[in-house]
Amino acid sequence: MALAASLGLEAGEIATALAALEAEGFAMRGRFTAGANAEEWCQRGLLARIHRYTVNRLRAEIEPAAARDFLRFLFSWQHVAAPARRKGPKRSPPRSSSSKVSRRRRAPGKARF
């Protein structure tokens, strides 16, 4: 363990101290560096800050679409725009509300919810 060598302590002493810090919630164990093979340790607050900065950077990369571009997309998606309109028979006239609609009668005294 590199930390033990730099402090002049045994690896077991360092492992015990880090486990105690982990139990207190101060440190976290894991692999935080891409391609890391060995177990790594990080202070919980520092890891949270790195995560927050990463999320904020990713959010800043996403920009909202302009209203005109969004409407252009919707009209095309719903086949309303002229180039996207579908070909076919003309639209049939709308049905009246009474045609082919079965209406069930309620039994007397029954409330409709």
Contact 65, 77 (CB under 8 A): no
Say what the pLDDT of residue 80 is: 86
What are the residues whose beta carbons fall under 8 Å from the beta carbon of 75, sequence distance 6 or more? 81, 84
For all residues of the chain together, what is the average pLDDT?
A: 83
pLDDT above 60 for 98: no
Classify residue 63 by its DSSP letter.
Answer: -
Residues 63-97: tens digit of each pLDDT: 888 999 999 999 999 888 888 777 776 655 566 66
* Mean pLDDT along residues 46-65: 93
Q: How far apart are CA 51 and CA 6, in angstroms?
A: 28
